[in-house]
Amino acid sequence: MALLRINNVSKHFGGLVANRDVSFDVDQDEVVGLIGPNGAGKTTLFNCIAGFYPVTSGTVVFDGQDITPLRDFQVARMGLARTFQIFQASGDLKVVENVMVGSFMRTGSRGSARRAALEVMEFLGIAETAGEMMTELPVAAQKRVALATALASDPKLLLLDEVGAGLNPSEIDGLIALLQRIHTERGVALLLTEHVLEMVMKLSHRVIVLESGQKIAEGEPAQVVKDPEVVRAYLGDHYVKRQKEGGDA
Ligand SMILES: Nc1ncnc2c1ncn2[C@@H]1O[C@H](COP(=O)(O)OP(=O)(O)OP(=O)(O)O)[C@@H](O)[C@H]1O
Ligand SMILES: [Mg+2]
């Protein structure tokens, strides 16, 4: 049984169709990439899955339960966590307090929330920032705290919305390694949207491509990037040419 099953999900904003009949699964042992041009509907789909937006039609099943009518906090308690494309640091929180917002999803005790937060921060290599104020951290570090906060809820599935955006190449390499460890060592399934294609290609077992709200391709990364429809809609000839010249994926 799939961990996440998205069945014909559509999302309309007035006359604008942001998602149209999107269907796919994510298994517990998978990393799935969701790619497509700006405005394709990737973030909207995340918002529908995570209970931030009600869907217009279709269903979302998570861990054997129909979560379509559930709200964001209910979905989060079931073990479906997400990061936000636009991360806003809460001004007067220390790093550890920010991460505890995640661990309070699974415990009511302040002590165990703090312990869980510190364990996750240790795992992500940011334990030494525990006492710093969120707003004092550089962007890359703030993003890692956002990841820690999502992970502190002990999710089965993590939705990652452009966690690589704005990072330099060595930070990207570090993030790829970290996400691989989150998947293999903590057993968390990942669904990630990303314009940093190198991340998608290196991490994903399977890639879904959205264009204008619709799924136009699905398959193994190496196959999908050769699909003429995907090249037309998103990758462009430039990417294909680089591949032929033996450039990096
Ligand atoms: N709350 C909203 N109200 C109205 N329209 C919205 C809303 N959120 C998104 N949209 C529209 O839905 C479409 C899909 O947007 P979405 O943010 O999901 O795209 P995306 O694939 O995440 O793009 P990007 O790669 O730039 O992050 C766009 O046309 C966008 O303007
Ligand atoms: Mg987006």
> How many structural domains is the chain composed of?
2
Q: What is the mean pLDDT of residues 115-130?
A: 94
pTM equals 0.92
Q: Which of 104, 120, 154 is the last residue of a domain?
A: 154
Q: List, for residues 28-73, the tens digit of each pLDDT value.
A: 999 999 999 999 999 999 999 999 999 999 999 999 999 999 999 9
Atom number, ligand 1, closest to the C-alpha of residue 53: 1
Q: Of all residues in the chain, what percent carry a pLDDT higher than 70? A: 92
Determine the structural domain holding residue 109 and report its residue range. 87-154
The distance in angstroms from the start CA to the end CA of the chain is: 31
Residues with CB under 6 A from ligand 1: 13, 16, 18, 36, 38-44, 85
Virtual CA dihedral for 7, 13, 19, 25, nearest 10 degrees? -40
Per-residue pLDDT reduced to its tens digit, 187-224: 999 999 998 998 999 999 999 999 999 999 999 999 99
* Across 158-166, average pLDDT: 92
Q: Are residues 109 and 186 in the same domain?
A: no
Longest CA–CA span in the chain (Å) reads: 56
If asked whether residues 161 and 246 sit together in one domain, one would say yes
**In terms of domains, do 184 and 124 share one?**
no
Highest mean pLDDT, choosing among 9-18, 90-99, 227-236: 9-18
User: Does 122 share its domain with 65?
Assistant: no
Rounded to an integer, the average pLDDT of 122-138 is 90
Closest ligand 1 atom number to CA of residue 213: 14
For ligand 2, a single-atom ion, which residues have Cβ within 5 Å? 42-43, 85
74 and 191 inside one domain: yes
Do 125 and 233 fall within a single domain?
no
The pLDDT of residue 248 is above 60: no
Which residues touch 7 (CB under 8 Å, ≥6 apart)? 23, 58, 59, 60, 61
Last residue of a domain, one of 106, 125, 154: 154
Mean pLDDT of the chain: 91
Residue with tokens 């796919």: 24
The reported pLDDT for the residue numbered 90 is: 64
Q: Tell me which of 10, 11, 13, 208 to substitute to probe ligand 1's pocket, judged by most ligand atoms within 8 Å of the beta carbon.
A: 13
CATH number assigned to the domain comprising residue 191: 3.40.50.300
Q: Are both 130 and 192 inside the same structural domain?
A: no
Ligand 2 centre to CA of 39 (Å) is 7
Provide the pLDDT confidence category of residue 249 given band limits of 50, 70 and 90. very low
Provide the percentage of residues in the chain whose pLDDT is more than 90: 72
What is the Å distance from ligand 2's center to 37 Cα? 9
CA 150 – CA 168 distance, rounded (Å): 22
Question: CB of 26 within 8 A of CB of 204?
Answer: no
Amino acid 92: pLDDT:
81
Give the Å distance between the CA of 43 and the centre of ligand 2.
4
Shared-domain flag, residues 171 and 93: no
